[in-house]
Chain A
Amino acid sequence: MAINWFKYSSPATYYSLAGKLIPIFTVAAVLLAIAGLYIGFFVAPTDFQQGEAYRIIFIHVPAAWMSMFLYLVMAFWAAIGLAFNTRLSSMIATAIAPTGAMFTFLALWTGSLWGKPMWGTWWVWDARLTSELILLFLYIGFMSLQAAIDDPRRADKAGAVIALVGVVNIPIIYFSVNWWNTLHQGASVSLTQSPKMASTMLLGMIIMSLACWMYAIAMTLIRSRVIILERERHTAWVAELHEKEAA
């Protein structure tokens, strides 16, 4: 069965499809989060070194994964939008950015909450912490550039350029920050965990990651629907939709 992808690249079709998908992903996110948190709090054993405090891993690690992954997805859609001049792709890139920034912030925040009892400090200039912080700056740069440009098409394209420049730079930044720390001195604290992780811990983390995935998809769909309505407010199909909802 061949799916006509171009059909769903039209904002009008996408709008109604996204409307149907949002409840599915939202429910999936809530159910997975409940399951993941249950495993995290009640099933997973207490870590013999870190005690109960390690349980923040169940939100920290998924958030960190999502923060990096969402930047790549965002840059991918921005690149598609720039290359093929498809409006919807750029809108999705714009819709992903705040969720990605939120996860980046969450990873930093939970990380520092975790760092305080474990390392005795809220923040260390460890390579990973620093590169996550820089990732947050990249998200903020992308969003503020788009916010400063009034013309939405120009905002899309300008955002795409800066997102792509960021993608080229991410490995460079990552490795330079790594070398920066190791050239100086050995890290006084290491982020590496105990070598073997209990399988229930891993399971909880994977389920929580899936929950974050579903949440990110639902949020992106919701936000892209709002962006579509805002940009297409002068078109006939939005007017029809409005009349239908008003009636």
Chain B
Amino acid sequence: MLLWIIQRDLLLAMRRQSDVLTTLFFFIIVVSLFPLSVGPEMNMLRTMAPGIVWVAALLASMLSLGRMFSSDYLDGTLEQMLLSPHSLFLLVLGKALAHWLVTGVPLVLMAPILGIQYDLPADALFVLTASLLLGTPILSLIGAIGAALTLGLRGGGVLVSLLVLPLYIPVLIFGSGAVEASSAGLGYGAHFSLLGAFLLVAVAFSPWATASSLRISME
């Protein structure tokens, strides 16, 4: 069931590749805007890089949340999914994972290249990529709650950012904090442990909250 829904969503995403690419290019453009706005001072950019990449990843992941449920909602598939005897928990988990595979993983793969633009040393690049790899699934899982709550509402896109961004803050803090800690010569193990803990909590609770939000939105 879980694999089936992931497979289906990936197939749908592959049929509309431009959506995936738009998110990725959004990410690249936002990251490239910062040197233009704060100046090309390399020392400053190097310290700002983890924060910038993380904020851009946050925004890119958030902007694509609208697609998680809306097309299924519009063509009635979502209603059939709610009616089906299968567990809604797994279904929502599958959709969030598919969202991560489609939007999160390209960001993770792109991050080292953008980090080089900011002249990050190799080990910082590694930590940045690893922290994104751990953190972006949390963003998809938390975002699923917001996407489900704002389903079919007017102005849903702006609203979802108001709901979801405050909840992203811990992930942002420890994601970019890990890179800073490693560049400062401190251990980043604690940051990664906490990110891992957030991921486990999100996997356990977010599909459940998302499922009840979907039921509320569809009744």
The answer, yes or no, to whether A16 is at the interface (CB within 8 Å) is: no
With A and B bound together, what is the CA distance between A184 and B186 in angstroms?
Answer: 11
The answer, yes or no, to whether B69 is at the interface (CB within 8 Å) is: no
Contact partner of B217 (CB less than 8 A), chosen from A140, A154, A177, is: A154
Interface stretch of the complex, out of B24-32, B72-80, B100-108, B158-166:
B158-166
Contact partner of B170 (CB less than 8 A), chosen from A141, A144, A165, A176, is: A176
With A and B bound together, what is the CA distance between A140 and B164 in angstroms?
Answer: 12
CB pair A141 B212 closer than 8 Å = no
Q: Give A142-185 as 1s and 0s: 1 = Cβ < 8 Å from B's Cβ atoms.
A: 00110011000010011001101110110011001101100110
State the interface size on chain A (CB cutoff 8 A): 27
The answer, yes or no, to whether A137 is at the interface (CB within 8 Å) is: yes
CB pair A173 B216 closer than 8 Å = no
With A and B bound together, what is the CA distance between A166 and B194 in angstroms?
Answer: 19
State the interface size on chain B (CB cutoff 8 A): 29
CB pair B162 A154 closer than 8 Å = no
CB pair B159 A158 closer than 8 Å = no
The answer, yes or no, to whether B219 is at the interface (CB within 8 Å) is: yes
Chain B's nearest CB lies how many Å from the CB of A159? Answer: 9
Interface stretch of the complex, out of B10-18, B55-63, B84-92, B145-153:
B145-153
CB pair A172 B198 closer than 8 Å = yes
Q: Give B176-219 as 1s and 0s: 1 = Cβ < 8 Å from A's Cβ atoms.
A: 01001100000000000010001000000100010011001101
Task: Look across to chain A and name the residue whose beta carbon is closest to the beta carbon of B212.
Answer: A161
CB pair B216 A162 closer than 8 Å = no
CB pair B149 A158 closer than 8 Å = yes
Provide the residues of chain B in CB contact with A173, threshold 8 Å.
166, 169-170
Task: Look across to chain B and name the residue whose beta carbon is closest to the beta carbon of A174.
Answer: B170
CB pair A162 B163 closer than 8 Å = yes
Chain B's nearest CB lies how many Å from the CB of A130? Answer: 9
CB pair B169 A158 closer than 8 Å = no
Task: Look across to chain A and name the residue whose beta carbon is closest to the beta carbon of B149.
Answer: A158
Provide the residues of chain A in CB contact with B194, threshold 8 Å.
176
The answer, yes or no, to whether B174 is at the interface (CB within 8 Å) is: yes
With A and B bound together, what is the CA distance between A154 and B219 in angstroms?
Answer: 8
Contact partner of A145 (CB less than 8 A), chosen from B154, B163, B169, B177, is: B163
Provide the residues of chain A in CB contact with B177, threshold 8 Å.
180, 183
With A and B bound together, what is the CA distance between A173 and B166 in angstroms?
Answer: 9
Contact partner of A148 (CB less than 8 A), chosen from B153, B181, B205, is: B153
The answer, yes or no, to whether B122 is at the interface (CB within 8 Å) is: no
CB pair B162 A140 closer than 8 Å = yes
CB pair A157 B216 closer than 8 Å = yes
CB pair A177 B216 closer than 8 Å = no
B interface residue numbers (CB < 8 A to A)? 145, 149-150, 153-156, 159, 162-163, 165-167, 169-170, 173-174, 177, 180-181, 194, 198, 205, 209, 212-213, 216-217, 219
Chosen A-B contacts, 9 in total, with CB atoms closer than 8 Å, are: A137-B166, A141-B166, A161-B145, A161-B212, A161-B216, A165-B167, A179-B173, A180-B177, A184-B180
